[in-house]
Amino acid sequence: MTMPVTRPAPPPAGPRRNVVYLDWEREFLPWLTGKLRRVDRDGERIPLAPAWKPGEHWALVGPTGEGKSTLAVGTLKLRKWVLALDPKGEDETLAASGYVRVTGLPPRKRFPKEVQKDLDEGRPVHLIVGAQARTDQEDLALQELMRDAITYARHSGGWTLYVDEFELLSSQRMFRLGPNIERMLITARRDKTSVITSFQAAAWVSKHATRQATFCCIFPTRDRNMIKAVAESMGRDWRTLADIVDELPPFHVLVIHKNIRAPMVMTKAPKVA
Ligand X SMILES: Nc1ncnc2c1ncn2[C@@H]1O[C@H](COP(=O)(O)OP(=O)(O)O)[C@@H](O)[C@H]1O
- Chain contacts with Mg ion (rule: CB under 5 A): 68-69
Q: Do residues 264 and 254 touch, judged by C-beta distance below 8 A?
A: yes
Q: Any idea what the Cα angle at residue 167 is, between residues 161 and 171, rounded to 5°?
A: 110
Contact partners, residue 154, CB within 8 Å, separation at least 6: 183, 184, 187, 188, 191, 193
Map residue 58 onto helix, strand or coil.
Answer: strand
Is 67 a binding residue for ligand X by CB under 6 A? The answer is yes
Contact partners, residue 239, CB within 8 Å, separation at least 6: none
d(CA 73, CA 75): 6
Is 212 a binding residue for ligand X by CB under 6 A? The answer is no
Contact partners, residue 176, CB within 8 Å, separation at least 6: 143, 170
Is 269 a binding residue for ligand X by CB under 6 A? The answer is yes
Is 69 a binding residue for ligand X by CB under 6 A? The answer is yes
Which residue sits closest to Mg ion, CB atoms considered?
Answer: 69
CB of 132 to ligand X, least distance (A): 17
State the CB neighbour count (10 A cutoff) for residue 86: 24
Is 257 a binding residue for ligand X by CB under 6 A? The answer is no
Among ligand X, Mg ion, none, residue 269 binds (CB under 5-8 Å by kind): ligand X
The closest of 217, 3, 196, 242 to 82, measured between CA atoms, is: 196
CB of 149 to Mg ion, least distance (A): 17
CB of 17 to ligand X, least distance (A): 25
CB of 61 to ligand X, least distance (A): 10
Instruction: Give the binding range for ligand X (CB under 6 A) out of 41-49, 68-76, 79-87, 149-157.
Output: 68-76
Q: Do residues 59 and 209 touch, judged by C-beta distance below 8 A?
A: yes
Nearer to ligand X by C-beta: 108 or 271? 271
Instruction: Give the binding range for ligand X (CB under 6 A) out of 57-65, 77-85, 138-146, 174-182.
Output: 57-65
Is 98 a binding residue for ligand X by CB under 6 A? The answer is no
CB of 195 to Mg ion, least distance (A): 16
Among ligand X, Mg ion, none, residue 233 binds (CB under 5-8 Å by kind): none
Is 235 a binding residue for ligand X by CB under 6 A? The answer is no
Map residue 152 onto helix, strand or coil.
Answer: helix
Where does this chain bind ligand X (CB under 6 A)? 62, 64-70, 93, 251, 268-271
